[in-house]
Structure 1
Amino acid sequence: MAHWLVKSEPDECGIDDFAARPDGTIPWDGVRNYQARNFLAKMAPGDEVFLYHSSCKRIGVAGIIRVMRAAYPDPLQFDPESSYYDPKSPPDKPRWQAVDMQFVEKFDDVVPLQTLKAQPELSDLPLVRRGARLSVMPVSDGEWRHILSLVNGRNIG
């Protein structure tokens, strides 16, 4: 099982949106960065994902979601009414991918970016490096455990 972090503005799609769904599942679509798309393509059912809230009042890791369906062609790229429409993406060789993710847990409070940046154990995490703008990124097992240790005072071994 791999670990990941995805970023989203909570008014677009946040942890509360996942929690409010009857089955907790939402397609993670609309990603329009090639490197982020490549990471989506590597996700597998069962992979755990931190959901990071950005561009909001409480920026930080808000909870955990899980990959339920591996990458498939993002249907929004073919929808002319969508802001994610890509007329250069052919149906026989689509450019963009989506995955389905499901709610696992909402944290009592977000783990703020400043806290993450202050952790030497997270210095290689793309999220805390200067200029890192990816909306989808891998998280090592050690980074995953360390971030969990910062959540609600957990003691993770």
Structure 2
Amino acid sequence: MRYWLMKSEPADCSIDDLAARPDQSVPWYGVRNYQARNFMRDTMRPGDLAFFYHSSCAHPGIAGIARIASLAYPDATQFDPASPYHDPKSTPESPRWFNVDVRFERKLSLIPLARLKSVPELSGMRVLQPGNRLSITPVTPEEWAFITGRLAGQ
């Protein structure tokens, strides 16, 4: 079991949007960073858990928990010329970009970014490091246990 933090802009897909989908799952499309892509393609496995993080919004923070529901597969948006995620250098025979499906587990009371930053036990958390812009980051088992055990109930 691995743990992740996956950022989504709530205007695109919020934790409530995920919960309201008929099958409560969504492809995590549009990732155009090689390191984040590699996490999905090479490391994520069905059953892994992820913090669903609202980013680029008025109140960023952890909004819920999702479960990885599929192995990585080619992101269809890379082949669609009408998509903002289109990549003309990518082909179906040699795709560059991948996504996984994530499934809703539960909503949390928002754990704001400022709260995460204020906790010494989370000072090493990758998402909190200066300059980190990755949309997907690993979370250690200790960080996961601290957040779910001590912060998620507040």
Residue 90 (structure 1) shift? 2.3
- Structure 1 residues 36-51: aligned runs within 5 Å: 36-41=36-41, 42-51=43-52
Deviations 1:80-138 (A, max 9, x none): 1111010011221211001001000001x211111111122212211111110000010
2:89 matched residue in structure 1: 88
Give SS of 1:77's match: helix
Deviation beyond 6 Å, 4+ runs, structure 1: none
Query: Are 1:34 and 2:28 matched, yes or no?
Result: no
Query: Are 1:17 and 2:21 matched, yes or no?
Result: no
1:79 matched residue in structure 2: 80
Give SS of 2:69's match: strand
- Structure 2 gap segments, 5+ residues each: none
Give SS of 1:104's match: strand
Counterpart residue type for residue 45 of structure 1:
P
2:114 matched residue in structure 1: 114
TM-score normalized with structure 2 length: 0.95
Paired with 1:117 and 1:40, the residues of 2 have a C-alpha distance of: 26
Counterpart residue type for residue 77 of structure 2:
L
The number of aligned residues is: 152
Residue 40 (structure 1) shift? 1.1
Paired with 2:133 and 2:126, the residues of 1 have a C-alpha distance of: 8
Calculate the aligned-residue CA RMSD, in Å. Answer: 0.9
